[in-house]
Amino acid sequence: MPNFILFEDNSRISLRPLTFFRPVSAIRIGILTIAEKWEKRLQHPVSFLTEIYLQEKFTLKVGTNNYLLNGSILPNQELIPEILSLEPDSSLMHNDTVIAMHLTAESLKHFNSINAPELRAKESKVPFIKIDNTWDIFINNKQAIYDDFMLITRGRSSAKLSATSKVIGNNLFIEEGASIECSSINTVNGPVYIGKGAEVMQGCHIEGPAAVCEHSVLKMGALIYKGTTIGPWCKAGGEISNSILFGYSSKAHDGFLGDSVIAEWCNLGAGTITSNLKNNYKPVKQWSYSLGKFVDTGLQFCGLVMGDHCKTGIHTMFNSGTTIGVCSNIFGANYQRNFIPSFSWGGTSGFKKHILTEAIYTAKAVYARRELPFSPADENIFNEIFELTNENRQ
């Protein structure tokens, strides 16, 4: 019986702050997380080989017949037979990228992402998407929405759209229990997916490709442009373009969010605005956790990357290419700094350290609002990340 494990390469560091609270494969891009994509393609559950401090929550299962899959690669159906055809103690490569490995239990004991065992290599010619930097997520989100839409909806029938709403094109899929009233949905240039129990309130306009995942709410008058994913249990309002909210986050009020990635348990206060374009139209620079400095993304459009458990005050403004670590509370007039370390409290008038116990208290409160347990494993993760991010705060 095959056993599938999602492992991580060096992209884990370059994808911070989005990977402090999760494995790379738990990143949402398109409609699903990368792990969910693999499970659907393989029709088999997966487990995780990740940082030790995350391993209690994202568990690892070892079997006799282990297929290790690169968690930063978005799977497609052409890759699956190549992976399953691997002989024991062999790997599937594309140039210098390890796509997958077939390892015995003994070989797995000696594996880590830096020093993999010597394996017979097979070269793949199948094209695929790999995310190595935070901006790769919104760059590839349109294609990922389309691919997930085809995967999720194939052979299924959509629920009916209310007569109060208008659809342009024929590429809309609505899950049972979703509600859409007095809104317009344009699917001419890409599909639109509305998840189970989601609510699209009056006066919303959605342009595909776009996804509103299960139990999320689009507030009245929301403008959702192509390339946008509203993850599960989110609230979204105002103007959002080519951006991803992983889940359990809120941007419920007016304000623009463009070419951005917002992790879980974030709240953007009313009137929070991001810039995604420099006035001189030059490429945008973004903070690199792997290099410890700002790097040129080569992108003209690049907005905000925000780690988990962050909050902003009303009318907070972020320049293009801003990165915010986890568990930060940001407020104040004028533009904020382009890099704000984790566990920061303050804004344009200065920062102080966000006390760990206070950050945990807030996390427990927001979990309770969703009737979710905050486990000892969750608290241990907070403690580990606080120590792990201390260097950035110095």
CA 289 from chain center: how many Å? Answer: 17
Average pLDDT, the chain: 95
pLDDT in tens, 167-186: 999 999 999 999 999 999 99
Asked whether 180 and 162 are in contact (CB, 8 A), the reply is yes
What residue segments make up the domains of the chain, in order of their start?
3-132, 136-393
What is the average pLDDT across 11-28?
98
> Does the pLDDT value for residue 291 go beyond 80?
yes
Same topology between domain 3-132 and domain 136-393: no
Q: What is the pTM of this model?
A: 0.95
Q: Over pLDDT 90: what percentage of the chain?
A: 91
Q: SS3 letters for 321-375?
A: CEEECCCCEEECCCECCCEECCCEEEECCEEEECCHHHHHHHHHHHHHHCCCCCC
At 112, the pLDDT band (50, 70, 90 cuts) reads low
Amino acid at 181: E
Nearest to 128 by CA among 120, 119, 136: 136
How large is the average pLDDT for residues 345-372? 94
Please give the pLDDT value at position 117.
60
pLDDT value at 392 more than 90: no
Q: Kindly tell me if the per-residue pLDDT of 24 is higher than 80.
A: yes
Strand order in the sheet with 46-48: 46-48, 3-7, 65-70, 97-104, 90-94, 120-123
Q: What confidence tens digit (pLDDT) does each residue in 294-326 have? A: 999 999 999 999 999 999 999 999 999 999 999
Phi, psi of 203 (to 5 degrees): 80, 15
Q: In what order do the strands lie in the sheet with 235-236?
A: 179-180, 199-200, 217-218, 235-236, 250-251, 267-268, 311-312, 329-331, 344-347, 350-353
Query: Does 116 score more than 60 pLDDT?
Result: no
What is the CATH code for 136-393?
A: 2.160.10.10
Chain segment 205-227, per-residue pLDDT in tens: 999 999 999 999 999 999 999 99
Under a CB-based contact definition with an 8 Å cutoff, are residues 268 and 309 in contact? no
Q: What's 219's DSSP letter?
A: P
Q: What is the pLDDT of residue 104?
A: 83
Lookup result for tokens 């991803």: 244
Structure token digits, residue 278: 């420099």
Amino acid at the residue 278? K
Dump the DSSP string for 90-127: EEEEETTEEEEEEEEHHHHHT--SSSPPP-EEEE----
Note the pLDDT tens digit of each residue in 32-81.
999 999 999 999 999 999 999 999 999 999 988 999 999 999 999 999 99
- What CATH fold (topology level) applies to the domain 3-132? Spore Coat Polysaccharide Biosynthesis Protein SpsA; Chain A (3.90.550)
Q: How many CA atoms lie within 13 A of 200 on its CB side?
A: 32
Q: Find the largest Cα–Cα distance for the chain.
A: 61
Q: Where do we find the tokens 């509370």?
A: 329
